Structure 1
Amino acid sequence: MFFDESRLKDPGFFRENRLDAHSDHAVEPAYRLPLNGLWKFAHAVNPAQVIPGFEQPDFDCRGWNDIHVPAHIQLEGWGRPQYCNTEYPWDGLADIRPGELPENYNPVACYVKYFRLPEDMRGKRVFISFQGVESCVALWLNGTYIGFSSDSFTPHEFELTEALREGENKLACRVYRWCAGSWLEDQDFLRFSGIFRDVYIYAVSPVHVWDMKIVAEPDEAFTGGSLRWQVKTETPAGTKLAVCLRDGEQVIAKAEGTVSGQADTSGTLQVERIRLWSAEDPYLYELRVRLSAPDGTEETAVQKIGFRKIEIKNSVILVNGVRVVFKGVNRHDFCGETGRAVTEEKIRRDLLTMKRNNINAIRTSHYPNSSALYRLCDELGFYVIDENNMESHGMWDMLWQGYIEKDQMFPGAQKAWEPLLLDRVRSVTERDRNHPSVIIWSCGNESLTGPVILAMSREFKRLDPTRPVHYEGDHQVDYYDPSLRLREITDIETEMYTPADRIRAYLKEHREKPFILCEYTHSMGNSNGAMHKYTELAYEEELYQGGFIWDFIDQALVMRDRFGKETLTYGGDWDDRPTDGIFCGNGIVFADGKETPKLQEVKYNYQNIVVRPDAEKMEVINRHMFTSTAAFRCVAVLAKDGKEIARREIETDVAPLSSAVYPLPFGKQKEPGEYAVTVSFLLRKDEPWASAGFETAFGQGVWTVKEKEHTCRRQAGELFCMSSPWNISVRGDSFSVQFSRLSGALTSYRCGETEYLKAPLMPNFWRAPTNNDMGNRMPQRYAQWKIASQYGMAGFNPETGKRNAAVRPEKQADGSVTFTMTYDLPTTPAASCAVSYRIRPCGRVDVRMDYDPVKELGDMPEFGMITKLSADLDRVRFYGLGPLENYTDRREGARLGIWDYRAGENLTPYLMPQECGNRTGIRWAEITNAWGQGLKLWLNGGEFSALPWTPHEIENAAHGCELPPVNYTVLKMSAQQMGIAGDDSWGARTHPEYLLDVTKPLCFEFSFKGI
């Protein structure tokens, strides 16, 4: 037998001599030789450049370069990473039709590993396992061709026994970047190649469990359970079989028998009382299958199992008889340092982040993830949609753009691709079926629909009838071919990025299936606005059962910029062409695993306890499926004007999926001030994912006790005004304020000899566009407001030749001085805004900005003012909604309090610099230097941010490292900034209720004073 390279583009050539897929159970003893580490390596740009005969034992490869395994070759110095979303990675580089492969550019990675078999593995049957190779591998041992396999994301295993030699052995691989299967691996991810998951050699003793099939389900009362087991064994005659189920060290059920030769043996274990597995309580038992041969040889197969039942009744998905709401994320195998070559340590790190932020479900987008993920999901508690490796999104686009016809689209109805895809279905099912965390199978992603995908769905159900099957593309059947009645592909009506109101309307007419969003609230850059609309819909409409955020982690790579500083890079930064640029940055965590501020909102929306306190009581709504609130400590904190004045612990016991009202233990507050009660639910004990005392949920109520109104009294001190041809000045005791008649701006505010303003205080209507803004063309619609922000003037008018644009200062009864500037805005049609100032004798300046909306101009990104302070004034303390950045459509997870940050830390390091760092509901804020000197602001519930850069500077940078050196602290204050949106990032706009309301005059009032 020899390897026929010409068959790479044949969809029927996807395995040769590869072992059948099997479960990923552990065995004791395990005879295993890890091959991770350094391999010898040579790179060829195309198959014609592969070094002839390098696989042969007498060809010495020891002088070749070294490469790490597992790793992507592009991160080891050969080729470059590439990011493509829907377009195929060879687009524009090779003119090929669907099913063909580039001839001159199909890189081949040639790997060689020299090894010696350990003593305890000799004399046994020996196999090799590649857990993940992208996109296919051809294998030789000592010059003998062993076999071939494609499918980048499930194991490839081959027997090596006959080709082994005494002493040193030479293993050689060719890993092709593209093969026929690559047409079905057009996922939205970074494009790599190479051996990127573990490789190991293992030996099998004469007694061996090849495969285990386990179904552990509770009875109808969910008190007892049955465990159906089936094992595939290979043993000598008379081998004893012992099956036992353990709860810790206690054996709670067992069975015995004998097996001989190659056999499939099955049975059932009954358990009278069980503890159910769920994401809330991921309780695991251990199944052990021991084989004992007559000669004393033994092997034990070990599998962790959980008793749980998944079913759909009355169009509702039930877990253990209870309706489930998926509070999910889509997950790529990815980390910023090593791409998809992710260690178990990094997987655990990310899962802990998910648990701490109330995420209970994962969709493995869009391929089977590393086997370690499923073990950890069993242990920590997640519901998993396990997705088959299929996406042909690029062909979908080609079809819509008219480059191909429907009958050229695959898989569609093209039966030539069906065996390959059914093989992939079998690979993921057989590997992952024993994991209780896997509750739904998925045919794949964004490949339209057709009879081949229907055959895949039926194969899932044949192999495992205990789980439902999901596929989003099924709802597109009417577009693909109305004559095909294929709505049986999926058991769950699934869509992507559908607005909440459209889901509500759909479910009024369609009640046949449960409904989930397999992708929603697109988390690109500063995003996830209006997420709460989806959260509440899940508790208003029974058939809507939640969704999966796109996605968990930014697909960016940690590299060094031209100055040697470590930075995160994205599509195009690696000179990859074609590329889809920044669109790989959609994570709720950054590529290095650090949390983004977006998680503040995700955690709140996904929390399982909703608390609604007011001045006297609190309503507690328990959204847990199986857990009482008694499992948590409930702590209530009362604050007055941001400062804690009392703390009490409250005993609660609200049953799952119910609510109760409890009185608050603080009594009625009489002293004037603003009060906030924050009720938190904390872990009572340490959990695998967080320590005791960790807050899992909170709610806050705010109210005010008003004081009696006082008559206005004249303030101490006297103000002196000076009006000159160029400036207007107001001086008081140890302070002065100056305005320019040339620009109309407040240009100076001094306390003593210290000047606080490094730039004029000017009206501002603009923000640095977010990724969502770019996607919905906000800059094009609102461009005039950027011009108005940069070039609005209230001073010299060249048409009249006059400089005095200000009303003459007027003294008020309380001793203050007021006057107004009118700013002409360079818009079409023309507009203006008025800014009035009231300077008090104490040094406080009250500012009011008014705008009478011009209908033709519509709304604007922001309505407020902006100035620059010294960069030394970088310490920010504020009383408002925090602690992390928040916006009018993303502040459910923020809470009222006194918070602090440094201006330099307030730039959220999104992959592309954009609007960030905003806070809403601001009562007051202080911006000071290290000695406490600076400004105090009173914002009357408005918004503000303090950053080292202006919106224009932020907008003008494609990466954080491109921002200029820090010279200032830029203070931006507003009545409101438009919401950041996030239903999707390619057209969805901010919801109307989170835009500025220009049906009435806009007014922004704030005050400041030196401190």
Structure 2
Amino acid sequence: MKLWENYQLDHINRQAARAHFLSFPTKTKAQLNENRYTHAFKNLNGTWQFMFLQAPEYSPQNFYQPDFDTTDMATITVPGSWQVQGFGKMHYSDLWYNFPINPPYVPTINPTGIYKRTFTIDDTFTDQKIILRFNGVDSAFEVWVNGHSVGYSKGARNEAEFDITELAQIGGANDLTVRVYQWSDGTYLEDQDMWWLSGIYRDVELLGVPQTGINDFTVVADLDDTYQDGRLTVTTCLRQAANQTVQFELLDPTGQLAYQTEQTVSNANFTINAEIPAVAKWTAETPNLYTLYMTVKQDDQILEVIPQKVGFRNIHVEGDTFLVNGVAIKFKGVNRHDYNPKNGRVVAKAEIEKDIILMKQFNINAIRTSHYPNSYYLYDLCDQYGMYLIAEADVECHGFELTEKYDWITDDPKWETAYVSRLTRMISREKNHPAILFWSLGNESAFGHNFRKMAEVAKEMDATRLVHYEGDFDAEVVDVYSTMYSWLEHPTKKPLMRDIIADSKKPHILCEYAHAMGNGPGNLKDYQDLFYAHDKLQGGFIWEWFDHGIESYDEQGHKYYRYGGDFGDDPSNKDFCIDGLLMPDRTPSPGLYEYKKVIEPIETTMLDLATGQIQLRSRLDFANLNQFKLVYTILADDQLLQSGEMALPDVPARQTTELELPYQLDFTPLPGTVYLLNLSYQLKTDAAYASAGHELATAQFELPIHTKGLMIQPTGQLTVAEHGAYLDVTGNNFSLQFDQVQGRLLSLCRDGLELIEQGPHFTFWRAPISNDMEIVDEMKKKQFLHLEHETVQNFHYEQLADCLIVTVQTLNGTTNSPWHYDCRYQYTIYPSGDIRFNLQGTPGGKLDMAPDMLPRLGVVLNLNQNLEQVRYFGRGPHENYADSKEAGLLGVYTNTVDGLFTNYVVPQANGNHLDTKWSAFTDDRGQGIVFSTEETFNFSTSFYDEVTVDNALHTNELTKADHIVVNLDYKQNAIGTFSCGQWQLDQYRTKVEPFELNFRITPFNNKEASDQAIAHEILQPGE
């Protein structure tokens, strides 16, 4: 049997898994807690020599010897995956194994990388135990030092340490050779939803540690039954049973000594227990960390000092909830991969820290390490900043799902070692991190013997944490009932959230929900309202944090991001890896802003607008609201009338309080103006993750001040003339033209500048979004919604004393559709150049054949390409939809046409703004056009026609039109999360329904009047 196919061989000479920690020669250096100050440390990252082979058997003879001729070898960067460095093939899949399923066997063609480098070891390593550590190698690998075999390891996302003390040469050159196999029997447990990337992709390190020091230790920092006093247990394992003294010092978060003891030991293993009164507890909201120093002495000489951060907290299940420090917390989480758009799964500490800081700034409090142990930096940072963790083992066997034998190896006891090893190595490395609440056994691997054994081992190794695995559908061995993408409503899907609420006897979390793919996710507030309403529903984790696009450049140098299928990889799940709240360049998506709002820490209820009485409800689980200040403003549209701020009083977690805002409503209302009270809850002082003034919650209320707009009576003369099929209308400083055959407004000019290049026409189509992926064939190949037809049935105009009324009757349908809309367009044109536009639509034909929902109901029109400066009153500043509008506060916003376009990795419909009362487009000289209404409409704009967006697969394929596209909609469909999860909820859908859309079109020059003033006018036609 080939080494890399021996599934019952877990390793050769790999050291037993242990906690990840640093050892220092003095306490002073231990306080700095940096690698360079340890006893001896050498980072082996950098440029290595590299040979890429089609199979291990093609390896040259004696390639592992120091004198092997490396002249013809290439070079490669470590850490790094070889596929992103030009070796082998990029491949993305969510599900499939890329070879026949025949465990434990893998393909004969098994891409293999031989890595070589030399290094020197200085005399700081003298008399030390020398450990070679690989933090991550995919998928299996062998190691040689100075021509001698060191060992073999697998488990791509787990650390592997080897003792090379007897092989290393201090003071001279050392030769290191590593042979890495892309495929191994371990690959059958590594079928996660991500790019298949191979090689040495995490740090390679050389450690020197004392021969008789601490090899491993376990810290349990629990709480007593009252959650007040700490219970500290430290179990220590020395490398040798020798007479040594071990001193333990525990410093509290302020640096004061909280506990100290010293023991003389002669056994390798020993334990200390201590009671620490009135401890400062660790939670994600209050990440209080103690520091434990373990000092090992022999003959009064310090051998080593080991620092360890300690967080006191308690996790246990009580009834149908799990409690952290006695509180049934709510996860407001995300799933996170290690990811970088240039380097694949190679991530630096600084990148991870940016992730954690950004999550905290957006109110996220939890991470699931989907679906493997992450880089060790992450766990330290989660302890430090405060982030709950579900730590997941490197186990996923998803491809077996399609074999009708999903539990093929999961329920085979012969594979027990392979499964359990991955769990024990994870727990051993990460056990001392207070951030970890759950050990997760893996992901999407069915259920059977090996998961039962893993759960048993997890409890034996660590009874202080809970066990999670979504694939245990009956919650047989796990502590929490976990589901993915459980629906809120569906005629057949089970279990729905209401069923879980009724039936579950254990705490419930959604380990994945709200698939953040492209424009989305929707329904976030609907889920969060349920979480808040039921204690047993303890939150969930959005899928996922990052879009996994690969940074690329086209021939013109334009940057874009490739995804599955772009590298000839087949089969591929294509853009299914573009499903994050962050775009590949770290730009927060509109969905992330929506999530921040939905999970914000303060919920505001208006009690009395007239007197400024509000109620605050804390959505925090532990921290006090006195960390915030409240900044309030009153706006008349965009004009600031009043503002003030106040520090929030003491409001314990989960409690409410009432406040009175000292504003005065004694101003004189202006015609047509909307008065808004905006509340912003900001940090009073600097926090670890944000500066003072950072906003974490908002609220908005429209004041009960309603005035009609200023009455304007248009004046002047209209000239109307027919020229063949065209109808020309002119006034004092404007002209417009209709095509009587097509029933279209062709053009609108003012002061010689053409503003409208194609007038409004009815549409129910928008370019599909990622969340339409399950229904796009229905929309395009059955309903042909993208192939719209408009048949003009009548064109009529009537000139009155003060206006011209143009009425167009049309029938609007799609290719081969037996259903349609009967539409009536009406343009009322005034001598001032104002146009009242009215569109009425009535469904007709065989409505039983009509679709369940439509992408939109509205009109599209084209403007002069120079009118790219945009102002509007509506929800903003980010795009918003019926099921994703909580972050969209009403106001006046200024932007550009390009700025209002969300540049998703996969181009798709975007940029909608609900509750718009007016939108204005101007050029750089102030000439432009205003669309306004006494009601509201949906508004969006871009330089791209729907067909352009629909056809483009990547951003660099978008070609700007020579006009600006504007959509003004009666209604636009919700976005849902149907790419993987809940479709558009019925209450948010755009259906085949009667509608009426009204707005006014006003050409203007902002030297004469502002867009805002025009929008506040009401036309009062003469008698």
Which TM class, normalised by the smaller chain length? over 0.9
CA distance in 2, matches of 1:384, 1:810: 71
| Residues 503-512 or 653-662, more deviating | 503-512
Q: SS at 2:152's partner residue?
A: strand
Q: SS at 1:229's partner residue?
A: strand
Compute the displacement of 1:264 (Å).
1.0
CA distance in 1, matches of 2:368, 2:565: 27
Letter of the 2:488 partner, please give it: A
Change (3 A) 1:366 1:947: same
1:116 aligns with 2:120: yes
Letter of the 2:830 partner, please give it: R
Aligned to 2:54: 45
Q: SS at 2:296's partner residue?
A: strand
CA distance in 2, matches of 1:610, 1:891: 16
TM alignment of 1:892-911, pairs within 5 A: 892-911=886-905
Deviations for 1:261-297, whole angstroms, at most 9, x for unmatched residues? x611211122222111111111111011000111724
Aligned to 2:796: 807
Change (3 A) 1:537 1:709: same
Aligned to 1:918: 912
CA distance in 2, matches of 1:646, 1:733: 42
Q: Are the aligned partners of 1:207 and 1:293 in contact in 2 as well (CA < 8 Å)?
A: no
CA distance in 2, matches of 1:904, 1:1009: 23
Q: 2:952 aligns with which of 932, 953, 957?
A: 957
CA distance in 2, matches of 1:715, 1:168: 91
Letter of the 2:899 partner, please give it: E
| Residues 138-147 or 119-128, more deviating | 119-128
Q: 1:835 aligns with which of 804, 821, 825?
A: 825
Q: Are the aligned partners of 2:826 and 2:839 in contact in 1 as well (CA < 8 Å)?
A: yes
1:471 aligns with 2:469: yes
Aligned to 2:492: none
1:730 aligns with 2:716: no
Deviations for 1:5-34, whole angstroms, at most 9, x for unmatched residues? 713212102211100111112211321111
| Residues 534-543 or 727-736, more deviating | 727-736
Aligned to 1:59: 68
Q: 2:856 aligns with which of 853, 862, 886?
A: 862
TM alignment of 1:222-371, pairs within 5 A: 222-234=227-239, 237-247=242-252, 248-260=254-266, 263-294=268-299, 296-371=301-376
Identical residues among aligned pairs (%): 31
CA distance in 2, matches of 1:623, 1:728: 61
Q: 1:154 aligns with which of 143, 158, 169?
A: 158
Letter of the 2:642 partner, please give it: A
Deviations for 1:697-723, whole angstroms, at most 9, x for unmatched residues? 01111244233699x885322223223
Q: 1:624 aligns with which of 620, 623, 626?
A: 620
TM alignment of 1:196-235, pairs within 5 A: 196-234=201-239
Aligned to 2:925: 931
Q: 1:423 aligns with which of 421, 425, 432?
A: 421
Letter of the 2:952 partner, please give it: A
The TM-score, its normalising length taken from structure 2, stands at 0.92
Deviations for 1:242-270, whole angstroms, at most 9, x for unmatched residues? 0010124322101101123x611211122
Compute the displacement of 1:508 (Å).
4.4
Aligned to 2:640: 644
Q: SS at 2:359's partner residue?
A: helix
CA distance in 2, matches of 1:34, 1:370: 16
CA distance in 1, matches of 2:366, 2:342: 25
Aligned to 1:759: 758
CA distance in 1, matches of 2:242, 2:317: 44
Q: Are the aligned partners of 1:236 and 1:293 in contact in 2 as well (CA < 8 Å)?
A: no
Q: SS at 1:756's partner residue?
A: strand
Q: 2:431 aligns with which of 430, 433, 442?
A: 433
CA distance in 2, matches of 1:579, 1:425: 29
CA distance in 2, matches of 1:443, 1:410: 17
Compute the displacement of 1:592 (Å).
2.0
CA distance in 1, matches of 2:929, 2:347: 48
TM alignment of 1:864-879, pairs within 5 A: 864-879=858-873
CA distance in 1, matches of 2:413, 2:891: 62
Q: 2:92 aligns with which of 77, 83, 86?
A: 83
Q: Are the aligned partners of 1:782 and 1:860 in contact in 2 as well (CA < 8 Å)?
A: no
Change (3 A) 1:773 1:861: same
Q: SS at 2:262's partner residue?
A: strand
Deviations for 1:156-179, whole angstroms, at most 9, x for unmatched residues? 100112222352111111110011
Letter of the 1:734 partner, please give it: N
1:568 aligns with 2:541: no
Q: SS at 2:773's partner residue?
A: helix
Aligned to 1:604: 597
TM alignment of 1:121-136, pairs within 5 A: 121-136=125-140
1:33 aligns with 2:42: yes
Aligned to 1:967: 962
CA distance in 2, matches of 1:683, 1:708: 39
Q: Are the aligned partners of 2:486 and 2:982 in contact in 1 as well (CA < 8 Å)?
A: no
Aligned to 1:693: 693
Q: SS at 2:451's partner residue?
A: helix
Letter of the 1:811 partner, please give it: L
Aligned to 1:683: 683
Letter of the 2:689 partner, please give it: W
Q: Which runs of 5+ in 2 are unaligned?
A: 26-37, 490-494, 1005-1023
CA distance in 2, matches of 1:161, 1:316: 50
CA distance in 2, matches of 1:609, 1:89: 48
CA distance in 2, matches of 1:928, 1:749: 14
Compute the displacement of 1:758 (Å).
2.6
1:985 aligns with 2:979: yes
Q: Are the aligned partners of 2:634 and 2:642 in contact in 1 as well (CA < 8 Å)?
A: yes
Letter of the 2:944 partner, please give it: W
Deviations for 1:822-850, whole angstroms, at most 9, x for unmatched residues? 12224422443111111122221111111
1:534 aligns with 2:539: no
Q: Are the aligned partners of 1:472 and 1:495 in contact in 2 as well (CA < 8 Å)?
A: yes
1:495 aligns with 2:483: yes
Q: SS at 1:677's partner residue?
A: strand
| Residues 567-576 or 279-288, more deviating | 567-576
Aligned to 2:9: 13
CA distance in 2, matches of 1:719, 1:317: 74
TM alignment of 1:729-808, pairs within 5 A: 729-777=728-776, 780=779, 784=783, 786-787=785-786, 789=788, 791-794=789-792, 805-808=794-797
Q: SS at 2:596's partner residue?
A: helix
Letter of the 2:20 partner, please give it: D
Compute the displacement of 1:218 (Å).
2.2
Q: Are the aligned partners of 2:766 and 2:909 in contact in 1 as well (CA < 8 Å)?
A: yes
Q: SS at 2:208's partner residue?
A: strand
Letter of the 1:963 partner, please give it: L
CA distance in 2, matches of 1:298, 1:471: 42
Q: SS at 1:806's partner residue?
A: strand
Aligned to 2:1008: none
Q: Are the aligned partners of 1:243 and 1:287 in contact in 2 as well (CA < 8 Å)?
A: yes
Q: SS at 1:322's partner residue?
A: coil
CA distance in 2, matches of 1:210, 1:466: 22
Q: 1:658 aligns with which of 645, 649, 655?
A: 655
Aligned to 1:818: 805
CA distance in 2, matches of 1:65, 1:37: 14
Deviations for 1:207-238, whole angstroms, at most 9, x for unmatched residues? 32111100112222222212111111135733
Compute the displacement of 1:651 (Å).
4.2
CA distance in 2, matches of 1:878, 1:695: 24
| Residues 385-394 or 212-221, more deviating | 212-221
Q: SS at 2:354's partner residue?
A: helix
Compute the displacement of 1:576 (Å).
1.9
Q: Are the aligned partners of 1:787 and 1:826 in contact in 2 as well (CA < 8 Å)?
A: no
Letter of the 1:836 partner, please give it: Q
Compute the displacement of 1:203 (Å).
1.4
